[in-house]
Structure 1
Amino acid sequence: MDAMATIEQFWDRPDAVVVLGSAVVALFLVVSRPVWRVSRNVVTIAHEGGHALFALLSGRRLSGITLHSDTSGVTVSRGRTTGFGMVLTGFAGYVAPSLLGLGGAVLVAAEQIRPLLWVSTALLVAMLVMIRNVFGVISVVVTGGIVFAVSWFATQPVQDAFGYLVCWFLLLGGVRPVWELQRKRVRGRAPSSDADQLARLTGVPGTVWVLVFGAVALACLYFGGLLLVDM
């Protein structure tokens, strides 16, 4: 199938406007600096949630999660300070939003948008138990409340549009923090970043880890985007 036929097939879909419109809105949420200062909190929740989940999966003991108003966050876990579990925990943060976006795109492509919203709500509730500061609680409660309200009260077309928006936002929003991280590293403003901690753990330069973060984010954006536009 040539490119023009593929584009025509996309526009023949009844939800083509929803798919494209949600992508445009998500892109605005990511590229607009004033809006990004607020919307980035959602990415931070996903980032710290990734650290927390993989800390548990690797056998570490989760102590708590703190989310700050400057969109930074800290996840504290107990266990060995070296080894594969620590590396996996450190690696998970920057790739978590993109992987969640890809997983969401799989559910959306399977027309399972309501389960996507329910799973998202459940994950946020589980994360809320480990939040250790007031701003973090407010951020997670507001985010979870919005997702739950859409899943419970909204009509199916609204749920569909919201599901696409969430996926596009996570896929696009997973890319920008990686670029921001490297900018901070170049300026010497992130000596304890995930990439630099991984460098100390593995001996692999921090810049290589940033490139890996970026490669995962871009791969998820590409494959997730294909699923969402069904091409």
Structure 2
Amino acid sequence: MDISQARVAATAVHLAPSWSTGFASGLFALLLVGARPLWKHTGHLDTAVHEGGHALMAFLFDRMFVTVWLERNQSGLTRYWGPPRGPGRLVIAAAGYTAPSLCGVGGAGLLAAGNVTAALVLAGLATVGLLLVVENGFGVLVVLVMLAFVALVGTRGSPGVQLFVACTVSWFLLFSAIRSLGILRRARRFSRSSDADMLAASTHLPAALWVAAFYLVDLYCLLVGSRLLIGG
């Protein structure tokens, strides 16, 4: 590697998004979330992060035999063995609809500080961790595609491409968290088996209150993430 190549490699670690990069990547992410034909494919990322949030909290709260399913219709399921009640169960149930927005704002924070490489490495490690607990074939395929994409961008993409992709993914997660809550509200008209209903059964607080709490968290993360990606 000559000196010029070394300088380019160094910028991959210390390259924060400009206003134009943050704005353009945000528009692209909004298209990926808002356009129905695209969402039929990209929505699997939101489901994977959602179930990954459940799985991570289950692991941290010492649950056993954590397994994840990702389905073709973008539904998902995380199963684990452990105490049926207690604070751990509440945190695990609440982690799903907040995981995409928290990951999005976390990624935005890393990118605003110029840590593009760290964001990609953490994304790769999280994807590998999810791959270890996914049980069904379609879910494995989804996670492998995600892992291949992160590896391709991280090893073949220029610093500018890596930054734009990382910004787009952060925006995508922030936007998709809001869209998923809209899907949840519509789904609850026909079924009462959502995370919000599980929390309602455990806490005796209305499920609608939990949905509102999810909205507050996700909207706050969108606000903070926007400032980091555009104004950071």
Q: SS in structure 2 opposite 1:50?
A: helix
Residue identity matched to 2:101: S
1:145 to 148, 169, 183: 148
Matched, 1:106 2:109: yes
Question: 2: distance between equivalents of 1:81 and 1:89?
Answer: 11
Tell me, yes or no, if the aligned pair for 2:17 and 2:229 is still in contact at 8 Å.
no
Which structure would you say has the larger RCO, counting Cα contacts within 8 Å and 6 or more residues apart?
A: 2
Report deviation, 1:33: 1.2
Matched, 1:214 2:201: no
The structure-2 alpha-carbon separation of the partners of 1:18 and 1:91, relative to structure 1 and needing over 3 Å to count, comes to: same
Q: Could you tell me the TM-score, scaled by structure 2's length?
A: 0.91
Answer whether contact 2:57 2:92 (CA < 8 A) is retained.
yes
Q: Extract structure 1 runs of 4+ deviating beyond 2 A.
A: 13-17
The reply to whether residue 225 of structure 1 matches residue 226 of structure 2 is yes
Tell me the TM-score normalised to structure 1 length.
Answer: 0.91
Matches within 5 A, 1:1-231: 15-185=18-188, 187-188=189-190, 190-230=191-231
1:230, distance to aligned residue in structure 2 (A): 2.1
Q: Secondary structure of 1:106's match?
A: helix
Q: For the residues of structure 2 that align with 1:141 and 1:23, how far apart are their CA atoms?
A: 25
Give, in angstroms, the shift of residue 101 of structure 1. 0.2
* Partner deviation per Cα, 1:22-45 (whole Å, 9 max, x = no partner): 100100111111211111100001
Give the letter for the 2:231 counterpart: D
How much has 1:14 moved relative to structure 2?
A: 8.3
| Deviation by residue 1:111-160 (Cα, 9 ceiling, x = unmatched) | 00111011101110111011101000000000111011101111111001
Contact 1:52–1:62 under 8 Å retained in 2: no
1:209-230 deviations in Å (ceiling 9; x for gaps): 0001111110000001101112
User: CA–CA distance in 2 between the matches of 1:110 and 1:92?
Assistant: 26
Alignment partner, residue 10 of structure 2: none
Amino acid at match of 1:156: P
Whole-angstrom CA distance in 2 between matches of 1:49 and 1:73: 10
Aligned-residue CA RMSD (Å): 1.3
* Corresponding residue SS for 1:53: helix
Q: Is the 8 A contact 1:55 1:62 kept in 2?
A: no
Q: Residue 94 and residue 62 in structure 1: after superposition, are their counterparts in 2 closer, same or farther (change >3 A)?
A: farther
- Identify the residue that residue 10 of structure 1 maps to in structure 2: none
Alpha-carbon offset, residue 19 of structure 1:
1.4
Aligned mates of 2:84, 2:18 — CA distance in 1: 49
The residue type equivalent to 1:194 in the other structure is D
Pair 58,14 (structure 1): closer, same or farther in 2 beyond 3 Å? closer
Gaps of 5+ in 1: 1-12
Structure 2: segments with no counterpart, 5+ residues: 1-15
Q: Deviation digits for residues 67-106 of structure 1, max 9, x if unmatched?
A: 0000000000110111111111000000000000010011
